[in-house]
Structure 1
Amino acid sequence: MFSEDYHVDHLARHPILTYQQVEEQFGIKITGFGRGINVTPSKVVLISSISKAEGNFVYHDKWTSDGEYIYSGEGKTGDQAMSKGNLAIKNAAMDGKEIHLFVKFSPKDYYYQGKFELVSYTYEDEKGENGCTRKEYKFRLKKV
């Protein structure tokens, strides 16, 4: 059902929260369909999203074979900019902010993956929401 980038065993070991619990415990407001970069004065909360119907990540997010996580930057069409949430991920360590990662299956199922740190990032060609090729940030994260 799930693509090879998805590690069921890894996700099953972590607490499952509702979006209300995530908002309360992490001091964020989840909008839209829930995937995104949420920034507070002390943390950056990343929410990745899985499509239950298709069995894969909605964006180009994925686990790597060495257990690191690739999180795609924000911005669905056109070249992504190094601003707002993307800049918050890049500068998290310098700004003294923790990075937390959730993988969302439904409004009731947010799998907490723990604290991460940025290892590196790239700026790559990728298909946007409109199907056109554009530049997208890929943030490589390692669990701490």
Structure 2
Amino acid sequence: MNNLIASVGDIQALKTKAFEKVGSTENGYFLFDPQFSRSARYFNCSVPLNESIGNFELVINGITEGLNSSNGGCSISRMRKVSDGGQSKWFRYGTGKGFDWIDISNQSNSSKQFVSYSVDLNNNFESDAILTMKCRTTWQTGSVSIGQIEIK
């Protein structure tokens, strides 16, 4: 926000931020369409896992609209609390899984479209684990929304 204020001034920066489409919607989706610093901004989703979960399918359902062909998507990691000599610490393990929004969308269609991504993962029946997704939209234009995250 400070960079935006420096480039356009206080009032214009506040107007831009106020009318930005970022946050939850009335139908339960999380909408992300930042109006400034698009390449640097992202959002996180977290899903707690427990010791009764081994192999599972993760399904992410969302909506895309007006995307360009630049990079933007979600990377998926697993965080796990590990005891380290009397103290517990959280460690992040990359899964090597994730997706680009343009790969799961029809690029010739710029109107709203429902998209879905699924991948098989394993929690190894470990307790104190969290599945995390770090997501961003494409660099120039377009919005993404995550509506439902399923573990099957």
| TM-score, L = length of structure 2 | 0.30
User: Structure with the greater relative contact order (CA < 8 A, sep ≥ 6): 1 or 2?
Assistant: 2
Q: Higher strand fraction: Structure 1 or Structure 2?
A: 2
| TM-score, L = length of structure 1 | 0.31
